[in-house]
Amino acid sequence: MAQNVVVIGAGIVGASTALWLRRAGHTVTLLDKNTPGMGASFGNACLLASCAVVPNATPGLATKAPGYLLNPNFPLFLKWANLPRLTPWFLKYLGFANDKDARRFTHVLADLIGDSVEQHKALAKGTAAEIFIADTDYLYAYKDRAAFEADKYTWDLRASVGFVPDIIEGPAVQELEPILDAQTAFLAVNKDHGYILNPAGYVQALVDTFTGMGGRFVQAEVRDFDLSGGQVTAVMTDQGQFDCDRAVLSSGIWSKPLMRKLGFTVPLETERGYHITFKEPSIRPNHPMMIASAKFVATPMQHGLRCAGIVEFGDLSEKKSKAPLTLLRRRVAEVFPTMTADSDEEWLGFRPSLPDSLPMLGEIDQSGVYAAFGHQHVGLTGGAKTGRLVADLISDTPPNIDLSPVDPMRFN
């Protein structure tokens, strides 16, 4: 039966959900306080990283984390004034840093993002968004085989769900990627991946397709829900009330205060993510690549070369911290010493992260409101499939994967 659905948040997850719902025949209103695609969906590394199935917390992290945070040359930062507030979250997070959970969550993430390229192509098929999807190999660049083998645990986890890289060593590295100097002598090549040439343009094209099919986009800030009848009947905003039969909460980190309006506290915290986009660079990689030693991704996107990967735990202040960007610039200069650019652009955004590295996906306590948030580093990668799964749930179409590990009630 066709429903009247309000989707909250017009990033990649919300745009995908709205489009799949409209294709299923539902009446859909998409709300966002900003223009589509301008939150975390704007500033990602552009990757459809199907192999990014390893959770953030792995065995040994509890003993390594203090050293990471105290090392100014490691790409993990903390705004120390926020430590008391963040400590409960960190303790939950470190509680999952064990082999059993790492293996379990790897299989869950593989179900959610392992077919990301196919999911995005299905989402964008026949629309103006198709032109933004590019097929690629995704490279992990290492100094040598010993550095690669030091990451054996994570590569074994990827292999357990089918992601086994091709190996390139020696001078063949520079034949494939001339941008890399001789200090990089080992590549792990993940085949059959993809990336988005312009994430903001891609999301906007999806929303334009959605509105062209009769969907409605309204720029409005959501403030509350009407649950007076036991289930959601309206979404309240600064632009008035939007009546509905179902609602979808897909507003990233901003989903946390809206969950409180539904009566639930969720352990959702922000990872302050940074990138620098170098405009008109003198050289570009042929493929997106993870520079393993420096922990950043370099992607040749439409607007230049985007280098992303610094993480800072803190707050929702829009003021950029100096140290993360300084480190990122230094690492980029070390890896690409001859690169010049006409200009560059710095960005800060907020990745919504849960302690188990899994999103929340599904109905929230029989309220008629569906969660679709908390994708940490894989929001773009998993956005298309998340939207399809939520649309299927609302359409009473049983999903073909087990969604119990991402139940939004799992922490309550």
Q: What is the mean pLDDT of each run of 10 residues along the chain (412 residues)?
A: 93 98 98 90 92 95 84 88 94 96 98 98 97 98 96 98 97 95 94 97 98 98 94 97 98 97 96 95 96 94 93 93 95 92 95 97 97 96 98 95 97 91
Closest of 319, 338, 320 to residue 281, by C-alpha: 338
CA distance 105 to 91: 18
**Range 377-409 burial, b when 16+ CB lie within 10 A, else e:** bbbbbbbbbbbbbbbbbbbeeeeeeebebbbbe
pLDDT score for 396: 95
Closest of 263, 312, 307 to residue 285, by C-alpha: 307
- SS3 track for 66-91: HHHHHCCCCCEEECHHHHHHHHHHHH
CA distance 177 to 139: 10
DSSP assignment letter at 320: P
pLDDT score for 192: 96
Q: What is the pTM of this model?
A: 0.96
pLDDT score for 327: 95
pLDDT score for 43: 85
pLDDT score for 350: 94
Residue 84, Cβ neighbours under 10 Å: how many? 8
pLDDT score for 280: 96
pLDDT score for 68: 84
Q: How many CA atoms lie within 13 A of 107 on its CB side?
A: 11
The helix/strand/coil state of 227 is: coil
pLDDT score for 169: 96
State residue 271 phi and psi, 5-degree precision.
-100, 115
